[in-house]
Amino acid sequence: MPLITFAGRTYQASSQRPLLETLLSHRLTVPHSCRSGYCHSCLMKVEKGKVPACSQQSLNIDKVQQGYFLACLCRPEQDMEISLAKRDTVPGIITGKTRLTSTLIALDIAPRHPVDYQPGQLITLWTTDSPPSASQPSGRSNNSNELARPCYLASLAEQDKPLTVHIQRRANDQFSQWAHDCTQIGQKISISDVRGTKIYQNLSSNNLIVVQDGCLAPILPLLRKLYASSATTRKSVQLILQVDHKDNLYGMTLINRLAQQQPDFTVQVCCGLQGKKQLETILGKSGSSSELPDSRLIISGYQDFIKQYTQQVQMDILLLPYS
């Protein structure tokens, strides 16, 4: 079995298992999100050895030549020494903190330099702060005092000065604990890695958008951009929000206003256990009607949710996976 040296320690890996999973199993959490080569959050660099070509197939030629690879796609075939990817960061300051639900907050961040991004893209947030008396976390980078997390942007670059991200509190996750309990207005933070699909450019004529509880961030700027002008190219959007409880709904002022103003935009809330069954029925029928040509499913949620609700879908799928 190949041996992987990372941060001065050596770990046994497997050619049958993605390297990212090996690192996670040893509590050496690196920034990651989709685990499928989509978001590039798990970008790493090989210092010695050779990585499989499949782990570099979505990278540009410069990064390939410099030895960068995606840990989620790498099934190591030989011994390697690896490191976290060097990154260019932009310093920023937290300028706003809003509680959206009992488990979800929005952070507004003013970057020192402009950040170019589109709906559906994400950034990685970095901080050297830590929650008090916390043990080795999920969400901690290899620097023992550094926390990192890929976060989808909920702001719209054309209209908003600050960058806005939504962060869900999750059990045993130190980054979300820090974001909820320790952040304050005026606090410094670093930003890097604008990545992800620009979903506005990938819309079809008929779009079914499914959002898991707490994962609305990349969809809000998409809706704002799509309906910002009456001259917008005609596109049909059906938005389905899956929530465990109606208290978890947020962003509804914008969504309800659009539903009233735009004839091609509809919204449906699937709540609780019965709502999950409704969602299964809707997706089971999706793409089967010849009345909806050029149709696409855009699904925003965590890995298990995406896997569960896309297995029987017959239409084109665009994923917005959360970590």
Q: Residue ranges per domain, the chain?
A: 3-84, 90-195, 199-322
Q: Residue 104 and residue 120: Cα distance in Å, rounded?
A: 19
Look at residue 230 in the predicted model and tell me its pLDDT: 56
Q: Where are the strands (E) in 112-174, listed by range?
A: 122-127, 147-152, 163-168
Q: Residue 32 and residue 294: Cα distance in Å, rounded?
A: 32
**Cα three-residue angle 216-218-223, rounded to 5 degrees:** 90
Q: Residue 100 and residue 248: Cα distance in Å, rounded?
A: 8
Q: Residue 205 and residue 304: Cα distance in Å, rounded?
A: 28
> CATH topology of 3-84 equal to that of 90-195?
no
Fold type of domain 199-322: Rossmann fold (3.40.50)
The tokens of 45 are what? 């660099």
**CATH class label, 90-195:** mainly beta
pLDDT truncated to tens, each residue of the chain (323 aa)? 899 999 999 999 999 999 999 999 998 878 887 888 877 889 999 999 999 999 999 888 988 999 999 999 999 999 999 999 887 889 999 999 999 999 999 999 999 999 999 999 999 998 877 555 444 444 554 444 578 888 999 999 999 999 999 999 998 888 999 999 999 999 999 998 788 889 999 999 999 999 999 999 999 999 999 988 655 567 899 999 999 999 999 999 999 999 999 999 999 999 999 999 999 998 887 755 545 668 899 999 998 999 999 987 888 999 999 98
Look at residue 291 in the predicted model and tell me its pLDDT: 52
> Which H helix or E strand runs over 316?
strand 316-322
Under 8 Å between Cβ of 276 and 248: no
**Cα three-residue angle 260-266-269, rounded to 5 degrees:** 110
Fold type of domain 3-84: Ubiquitin-like (UB roll) (3.10.20)
Look at residue 31 in the predicted model and tell me its pLDDT: 82
Which of 275, 292, 282, 290 lies closest to 312, judged by CA? 282
Look at residue 147 in the predicted model and tell me its pLDDT: 82
Look at residue 229 in the predicted model and tell me its pLDDT: 67
